[in-house]
Amino acid sequence: MISDDAFGPRKDTFSWRVLSALADVVSTSVESDPAANGSHLVRIELTKGRTAHV
């Protein structure tokens, strides 16, 4: 997602709690995008692993 903000998403919100509850790992990154006039590229990565049943 492109953002004018240099900060990642807020982690003190209900939506962040939902994402964290549904995924095993939630990570974010923010990179400046020089081609987009000072905008920033914000990424949210969700990782869900499978559990082995014994």
Domains of the chain: which residue ranges? 2-47
pLDDT surpasses 80 at 33: no
Torsion of CA 12, 18, 20, 21, to 10 degrees: 130
What is the rounded average pLDDT of the residues 12-37? Answer: 89
Six token digits for residue 29: 């990154």
User: Using 50, 70 and 90 to split pLDDT, how confident is the model at 9?
Assistant: confident
pLDDT greater at residue 43 or residue 6: 43
